[in-house]
Structure 1
Amino acid sequence: MMKRFVSMSLLLGVCVAAWGQSPSSWPDLTQQQTYTPHRASSTDPTGANQDFRTVGPGATATVLDVDGPGTIAHIWFTIADNEPYNLKRIVLRMYWDGETSPSVEAPIGDFFGLGLGEYHTWQSEMLSVGNDKSLNCFFPMPFASHARITVTNEGNQPINALYYNIDYRTYSHPLSRDTLYFHAEYQQAQPNRGWTNNWKTNQDALVNDKTNSDGQGNYVWMEAKGHGQYVGVTMSVLQNQDMWWGEGDDMFFIDGAKTPQIIGTGTEDYFLGAWDFGGRPFSYQLYGAPVVGAELAGSRSSVYRFHLAQPIPFQKSFKATIEHGNANHRSDNFYSVAYWYQADPHEPLPPLPPVEQRLPALQPAGGPGNSGAGVH
């Protein structure tokens, strides 16, 4: 019994050393905490029960605007909005320490892993969507002097009710000078234009024997300059073509490398499944595929992976990518948000596509299940 206790204690110590706090980045519950807890919420200031905000078309609601030093520990939203694909039309932004360029910018659905613009429940260590339509984030988000979070309605109809609770803590001491800041970047390709549509199966020699050693044409999850560490990605896929969409390898380029230092064996393998996910959804703490569609044009899938056990560090620059089909032969739609921590200042995030271009839509791409003029 003692031997088992020592081994588990050693494992816990390794995890604590690797992540910097506890394995889940939570405070040590055995030690008295000295921070001051706070909550920013949509509670009715009169004490009545109208505990929400309305946000008109084109309007922005500031849901957090506080001074530090501090750390955001948890974010919860739920939204009542009748407009189709409102999760793609509402934009979430976060700013640290007075910056004018956001460190986080994404459609609110995509940020919470709902990149298809529709709700589904799923669970992970850092993000989850519970019943009914509850959006939760547990990424720790430190700020030295100031934090601001906004929600912008880019739709044509009002958000009838925006509910939120944001739990954060402030400290009586400054943050460590080497503190890294939370970042998240939205990307999409509608479609990922493949280099050919002259194929019948993913195993055709034309595509199966094609090589891709430098990631040319890969779908890019995120790029950053500076020093920090990549911690994961959520991604959603709308198939424009038949058969398995995941014939593609993940590739990571660290500190300006021209060839990937880390390369995988297939899309489902990166997301820690296997064999096309077996056609069945699953959702675990660090990885999953909570939506798994049939291997047909028009099908939808959603996947995620978090590198909490081993974030990928970089000192100068970083690029995270994945192929869309072997050597990028497929032309499906990808929508993703990558998550990482880095020292600020950061490079400006790529601008969001116009709202109408963010809405998932089948594309004429040719290939199996797609005539080129439209999907059958």
Structure 2
Amino acid sequence: MAMAQTQNWQPDITQQQTYTLHRASSFDPSGGNADFRTVAPGATYTVLDTDGPGTISHIWFTINDREAYHLKRIVLRIYWDGEATPSVETPIGDFFGLGLGTYHNWQSEMLSVGSIKALNSYFPMPYRKHARITVTNEGKEPIDSLYYNVDYRTESHQLPEDTLYFHAQYRQAQPNHGWTNDWPNNYVPLTNNKANLDGKDNYVWLDAKGHGQYVGVTMSVLQNQDGWWGEGDDMFFIDGAKLPSINGTGSEDYFLGAWDFGGKSFSYQLYGAPVVGEELAGARSSVYRFHFDAPIPFTKSIKATIEHGHANHRSDNYYSVAYWYQAEPHAPFPALPPVEQRIPALQMVGGPGNGSSTH
């Protein structure tokens, strides 16, 4: 697959580079082989704290934690230039596309999870004055071993004044509340003929203010109901538009598959569905899409959304991280849900395959 148009984030290796490369890592300062850190319950550990100008080019973690769903309990935050609120705030698993709280291997241009439990990011993250990365253990058990390598470079010149900063934001709906639970399948007239022209009650990936560009999303789905979860269109509202500035044709279409993904998983550089469930209540899926070919610009605001079922009739659980670049300051993020509410769990919402009619 030709990817030449996405390679400009890489240095030109035919030209002499003038930056100085550094690495923040969990190496054993005594010279021994205990190359990890232990993080107690409730504690925050600072992975990187450095002055600029510079650029983080690569982040790698691997974690040994005995607690179930520790990927949802450990929170990754990144702060630029001394800001009080983070520009990245997400459970660590979700940042690396593991929104179901369990490990699976997958690969893309900027994010990948390798064998075994190796979490990698190649998003370029420039900063003018300062960068700080923290990991907070919101679990009840210690992180027995936190291994990390963060590769970053100090630049020999100031960054351009119009440099945009990397951001990533977690959101979830457990569940999305569909407008009905009285439907036998996705395609009856009751649901299939419902209109949703303005995105009312769509699941929101990102609602940002300022100027910048959206570059993609990772999303995981836990089905509460039977049938295909993806009868929903993506809708982008740019610079305050009341009607969609960009309107898609279906969930699997936005993630650049087709026909319910054919029931098979796949993982490519800009798009994929590394986990594809069986279209039954309790099934789990994970998907991603990156817009490195054409990031979606905004000058005032952007609201990136997707329907949960056609016109939002379904009540499945969604967990997502949106990735974008923008000028600071950024708008406040939604409050991170309490840790126990982040654990994927089947919800009794009624409808096909779900025994309760309680919303």
TM-score by length of 2: 0.98
Report the CA distance between 1:172 and its aligned residue: 1.9
Task: Find out whether 1:340 has 2:324 as its counterpart.
Answer: yes
Is 1:39–1:165's contact at 8 Å kept on the other side of the alignment?
yes
Which residue, out of 206, 209, 213, partners 2:190? 206
For residue 23 of structure 1, report the CA deviation from its aligned partner. 2.1
Aligned to 2:158: 174
Q: For residues 130 and 352 of structure 2, what CA distance do their matches in structure 1 show?
A: 52
Q: Which amino acid aligns with 1:190?
A: Q
Q: How far apart are the structure 1 equivalents of 2:69 and 2:87?
A: 24
2:58 & 2:323 partners in 1: Cα distance? 16
- Contact map agreement 1:24 1:125 (CA 8 A) in 2: no
Write out per-residue CA displacement over residues 335-364 of structure 1, whole angstroms, 9 at most, x where no aligned residue: 000000000011111110000000000001
Structure 2: stretches of 5+ with no match in the other structure: none
Task: Give yes or no for the alignment of 1:66 onto 2:50.
Answer: yes
- Cα deviation 1:256-303 (Å, max 9, x = unaligned): 000111000000000000000000000000000000000100000000
The runs of at least 4 consecutive aligned structure 1 residues that moved more than 2 Å come to none
What are the superposed Cα offsets for residues 144-201 of structure 1, whole Å, 9 maximum, x if unpaired?
A: 0000000000000000000000000011211000000000010000000000011001
The letter for the 1-side match of 2:65 is D
Asked if 1:230 is matched to 2:214, the reply is: yes
Who is 1:187 aligned against? 171
Structure 2 counterpart of 1:49? 33
Alignment-derived partner of residue 113 in structure 2? 129
Aligned positions, number:
357
| Aligned amino acid, residue 131 of structure 1 | S
In 2: Cα distance, 1:66 partner to 1:326 partner: 47
Among 193, 205, 208, the alignment partner of 1:221 is: 205
Q: Distance in 2 between matches of 1:368 and 1:193?
A: 15
SS in 2 for 1:231: strand
Which residue number corresponds to residue 81 of structure 1?
A: 65
CA distance in 1, matches of 2:204, 2:15: 42
CA contact (8 A) 1:91 1:105 kept: yes
1:373–1:325 distance in 2 versus 1, CA, 3 Å: closer
Mapped partners of 1:190, 1:355: distance in 2:
13
What letter corresponds to residue 208 of structure 1 in structure 2? N
Q: 2:101 aligns with which of 113, 117, 134?
A: 117
> Which of these residues, 23, 26, 44, is aligned with residue 10 of structure 2?
26
Q: Amino acid of the residue matched to residue 229 of structure 1? A: Q
Structure 1 unaligned segments of length 5 or more: list them: 1-7, 16-21
> Match of 2:131, as an amino acid?
A
Preserved CA contact (<8 Å) 1:154 1:355: yes
Q: What whole-Å deviation, never above 9, does each CA across 1:214-266 have from its counterpart, x for those lacking one?
A: 00000000111000000000000000000000000000000000011100000
Q: Distance in 2 between matches of 1:235 and 1:343?
A: 25
Aligned to 2:291: 307
Structure 1 residues 84 and 309: CA distance shift in structure 2, 3 A = same
Match of 2:223 among 212, 221, 239: 239
Q: CA RMSD in A?
A: 1.2
The reply to whether residue 35 of structure 1 matches residue 19 of structure 2 is: yes
Matched residue of 2:312: which SS? Answer: coil
Partner of residue 258 from structure 1, selected from 242, 247, 252: 242
Identity of aligned residues (%): 75
Question: Contact conserved, 1:235 with 1:336, CA < 8 A, in 2?
Answer: yes
